[in-house]
Amino acid sequence: MEINVNSQTENVLLSRKEITGILAFDKQTPSKKDVLSALAKKFGVDESLVVVKGVYNIFGNHQAQFVAHVYPSRDVLESIEPEHDYVDKAQRAQAKQPAADAK
Structural domains in the chain, sorted by start: 2-102 (3.30.70.330)
The pLDDT of 32-39, averaged and rounded, is 90
pTM of the predicted model, to two decimals?
0.78
Q: What percent of the chain has pLDDT over 90?
A: 44
Instruction: Using the predicted structure, report yes or no on whether residue 11 has a pLDDT greater than 60.
Output: yes
Q: What percent of the chain has pLDDT over 70?
A: 81
Q: What is the DSSP string of 20-81?
A: EEEEE-SSSPPPHHHHHHHHHHHHT--GGGEEEEEEEEPTTSSEEEEEEEE-SSHHHHHHHS
